Amino acid sequence: MTITRRNALVIGVGALAAARLAPACAAAESEHHGISAFGDLKYPPDFKHFDYVDPNAPKGGQFSQIGPARLNNQNFQTFNSLNSFILKGDAAQGMELTFAALMARAADEPDAMYSYAARAVRISADGLTYRYLMRPEARFHDGTRLTAQDAAFSLTILKDKGHPLVVQQLNDFDRAEAEDDATLVVRFKPGRGRTVPLYVASLPIFSRAYYTTHPFDQSTLDIPLGSGAYRVGHFDAGHYIEYERVKDFWGATLPVAVGMSNFDTVRYEFYRDREVGFIGFTAKNYLLREEFTSRVWATRYDFPAARDGRVKRDTLADGTLSGAQGWFPNLRREKFKDRRVREALIDAFDFEWTNKNVMYGAYQRTISMFQNSPLMATGKPGAEELALLEPFRGKVPDEVFGEPYVPPVNDGSGQIRPLLAKASALLTQAGFTLKNGKRTDTKGEPFTIEFLVDDPTFEPHHLAYIKNLAMLGIDAKIREVDAVQYKARLDDRDFDVTVERLTFANTPGDELRTYLSSASARINGSFNIGGIADPVVDALVEKVIASDSRHALTVACRALDRVIRAARYWVPQWYRASHLIAYWDVFGRPSAPPPLYDRAIPDIWWYDRDKASKIERAG
């Protein structure tokens, strides 16, 4: 698993100095076609389409996949609801395709967004009022007009009744009101976080009329009224869902939509077993697969269709911030509260042996919360980092002021006795003594760990780790549960240790609170899986959010990274800065280089009928 399959879909990030989108005085009245975190935009007001699309891409055909990412309460393995924006239920992946938002993200920029349902935005000089001018042609799928009233209703109900992840990121959003059908006014609280305006601009717009007769906060398989390029088509709960292209989509000629949404049908398949899912791909039950298992990528693509070229493989660069993947102990449980215990758990993991023998050398070690980005801390802190860190001297480990923590590096032989000896000493210092080969606490209770998983693919990685833990006297075991129970136990914080990946936006901002803050640690369903609750982390998160330039953001993130790594909050695993994709050769794609910050599949690909005919004849 890479956590592209275990994280939230990044749908919008940061903008603090909103007035900096144009000169300060003009910003109060002038219109803007796009917004970004620090005012930098690649595309001018008169741009025709994104550079990475083919504006002449044909429409038609089908695309199908096992979804690589999830949003809010969506589940990778099953679904029993079509409501993706509340905590209840397990929602179908892809529901976001059915809704328009105020603005749409550019995948070749770190955080820029451009006009979608709103044709422009006017921003007050203090950055606290955004006035969106709605497109008169915007429509819901039943033909009714999408208005500022609908947008105001949507933001209000998401703040009041939305998924906790949404609610938390709307903390600095004050209110939204419609001056008239064409003008939406969004107001933010003084001192608002940088990411809030772009997050608001990325949220779905619901039909106010539809929800007068349908409760918003209920898990349901009723098809909601959308306004996006796709509408829900056929589905079988827990097995598959299809999205049908809206042939008369009102936004098809907008610059943010040209060359996109090319398939007549986009289908998501759901498998509760990854091996069965792979076999389904070899049988052409779905057409594209992103491979997350290095063993499968290295050894299993020798089936007939792969050998004769009907199935192609490709590696796409991934320029997004990789984040922190690893084993996250539940810090709410007493046995994991001591930093020395957590460091011992890190020492017991032999990444080099696991990478060599289990993962075919396909990965690099994760060491930072901001892996694969310039935001990760390196070397000793410079003067600007020290200025942020000095107020916390004595409240954080001294190593924060030196070289950042890096997990130990082994030789790949599997012989790590010196590290296990160090880990044993750390556990003893923390009060867990070794008696008759078993580690016990001060009350004589055994030190046990249950690794909670929902997929057997991870078993080899766990077993190698569990073997080393046993040498420390820790009684560890794997508990595999079904997808629904797994999500429920994570939401309820009913676990010892689980695998997760904290994935942040390329320009981190308010979403850091949902992953790292003390407040999020207390919210069931938040992304703060491990329960990090540290006032120093809280303070540095706010520094990141308040950064008024990319340079200041980088400095603040590096300082935060040092503190988190020093606390040993997770057992770092691995990452790969690329997407491994396999697909039946029935697709066309733009000749332009793909965007760096998004896989953009199926967004910019299309169905090639000539290729598909050849595949059919060969098969």
Per-residue pLDDT reduced to its tens digit, 98-121: 999 999 999 999 999 999 999 999
Residue 5: is its pLDDT beyond 80? no
Alpha helices in 506-548 (DSSP H): 511-516, 518-521, 535-546
The terminus-to-terminus CA distance of the chain in angstroms comes to 31
Alpha-carbon distance of 276 to 239, in angstroms, equals 13
- The per-residue pLDDT for 428 is 98
How confident is the model over 555-577, as pLDDT tens digits? 999 999 999 999 999 999 999 98
Tell me what the mean pLDDT of segment 224-250 comes to. Answer: 98
User: Among 534, 516, 559, 517, which residue's Cα sits nearest to residue 387?
Assistant: 559
SS (H, E, C) 575-604: ECCEEEEEEECCEECCCCCCCCCCCCCCCC
DSSP 173: E
Eight-state DSSP code of residue 19: G
User: Of the spans 124-128, 167-171, 317-321, 536-540, which averages the highest pLDDT?
Assistant: 536-540
Where in 40-128 does DSSP place strands (E)?
62-66, 103-105, 113-115, 118-123
Task: Please report the domains of the chain, with CATH numbers, ordered by start residue.
Answer: 324-575 (3.10.105.10)
Strands (E), 144-190: 173-180, 183-188
- Which pLDDT value is given to residue 9? 31
Q: What is the pLDDT of residue 25?
A: 36
Tell me, what's the pLDDT at 612?
A: 94
Mean pLDDT of 313-324: 90
Please tell me the distance from the alpha carbon of residue 468 to that of residue 483, in angstroms, as a whole number. 28
* Higher per-residue pLDDT: 523 or 474: 474
pLDDT digits (tens, 9 = 90+) for 426-465: 999 999 999 999 999 999 999 999 999 998 888 999 999 9
pLDDT grade, residue 194 (50/70/90)? Answer: confident
pLDDT band at 536 (very low <50, low <70, confident <90, very high): very high
Strands, E assignment, 146-301: 173-180, 183-188, 230-236, 240-245, 265-269, 288-290
Q: What pLDDT, on the 0 to 100 scale, is given for residue 53?
A: 98
Token digits for 155? 């933001």
Cβ-based neighbours of 615, under 8 Å, separated by 6 or more? 310, 584, 585, 586
Segment 47-58 shows an average pLDDT of 98
Is a pLDDT exceeding 80 seen at residue 157? yes
* Span 323-331, average pLDDT: 95
Residues forming beta bridges with residue 204, ordered by sequence position: 101
C-alpha distance from residue 552 to each of 185, 270, 514, 588 (Å): 30, 43, 21, 41
Contact call for residues 522 and 125 (beta carbons, < 8 A): no
Per-residue pLDDT tens digits for 66-95: 998 889 999 999 999 999 999 999 999 999
pLDDT for residue 14 is more than 70: no
Q: What integer pLDDT is reported at residue 17 of this predicted model? A: 31
Lowest-confidence segment of 209-213, 361-365, 504-508, 598-602 by average pLDDT: 504-508
Nearest-Å Rg of the Cα atoms of the chain is 25
pLDDT of residue 458: 84
pLDDT at residue 13 tops 90: no
Give the position of tokens 């942040």. Answer: 504
Given the structure tokens 């080899």, which residue do they identify?
460
Higher pLDDT, 9 or 563: 563
pLDDT of residue 22 exceeding 60, the answer is no
Q: What percent of the chain has pLDDT over 90?
A: 84
Strand partners, 565: none
Question: Which residues, including other chains, have CB under 8 Å from residue 350's CB and lie 6 or more apart?
Answer: 410, 414, 416, 464, 465, 468
**Is the Cβ–Cβ distance between 416 and 350 less than 8 Å?**
yes
Nearest to 172 by CA among 49, 301, 18: 18
- Sign of the dihedral defined by the CA atoms of residues 64, 67, 71, 72, in that order: positive
Per-residue pLDDT of 343-363, as tens digits, reads 999 999 999 999 999 999 999
Q: Identify the band that residue 381 occupies on the pLDDT scale cut at 50, 70 and 90.
A: very high
Strands 497-502 and 448-453: parallel
The rounded distance, in Å, linking the Cα atoms of 156 and 572 is 38
Name residues whose C-beta falls within 8 Å of residue 552's C-beta, 6 or more positions apart in sequence.
none
387 sits in which H/E element: helix 383-389
**Average pLDDT along the chain:** 92
In angstroms, what CA-CA distances link 450 with 2, 210, 419, 531? 21, 45, 22, 17
Each residue's pLDDT tens digit, 392-405 = 999 999 999 999 99
DSSP-H helix ranges across 162-215: 164-169, 196-202
